[in-house]
Amino acid sequence: MKNILKYMTLAFVAACSLTGCYERYVTYSDDEYVMFADTMAIYPVQKEDSTFIIPVVSTVKKDYDRTFGVEIVDKGNNAIEGLHYRLQSNTVTIKAGETRADVMVHGIYDNIEAADQLTFQLRLVMNDDLVMPLYGKDTKANLMKVCPFDINAFTGYCVFT
């Protein structure tokens, strides 16, 4: 009886290990999709260097440059272009052989208050067949004012009791 129970347990363990989990990977073959890398992100605006990047990515490399327009969506924004931020360019170019380009945005530190919760939305201007249905062609950027940090003025950690 012990041998039968031992063989049944061994068979059960073997069956469980052979029927383990499997993962399903979705691939998009050679279809080209272009999108912002993040659909929403928080960007710190500092006094010294307040330029930040919003990455644009493609799913495939091409042997030619690809240029797309970048427009500001007015609906739902409370950050004002020219007052709180400024786009460096209204176009973005993915160079030949690359899958990434950057939209450069300059945050205007002096015009943002410490308690402001500023957002703006960008959209890529491109053919609809380049839009990945899952991600779309928009991104939302949240601006956050970050006060400068001086290590010489640092007196130690704060302890709350």
Q: What is the pLDDT of residues 119-148, one digit of tens each?
A: 999 999 999 999 988 888 999 999 998 877
Q: State what percent of residues in the chain have pLDDT above 90.
A: 42
Phi-psi region at 136: left, alpha or beta (left = phi > 0; alpha = psi -120 to 50)? left
**Per-residue pLDDT at 75 exceeds 60:** yes
Give the pLDDT mean for 142-159.
Answer: 77
Q: Is 118 exposed, middle or buried (0-12, 13-18, 19+ CB in 10 A)?
A: buried
pLDDT score of 7:
67
Among 19-33, 87-101, 106-120, which range has the highest average pLDDT?
Answer: 87-101
Please name the residue that has the structure tokens 């690359």.
Answer: 98
Across-strand partners of 43? 143
pLDDT score of 26:
56
Cβ–Cβ < 8 Å for 56, 99: no
pLDDT score of 74:
85
**Per-residue pLDDT at 32 exceeds 60:** yes
pLDDT score of 152:
78
pTM of the model: 0.71
pLDDT score of 9:
73
pLDDT score of 116:
86
pLDDT score of 77:
87
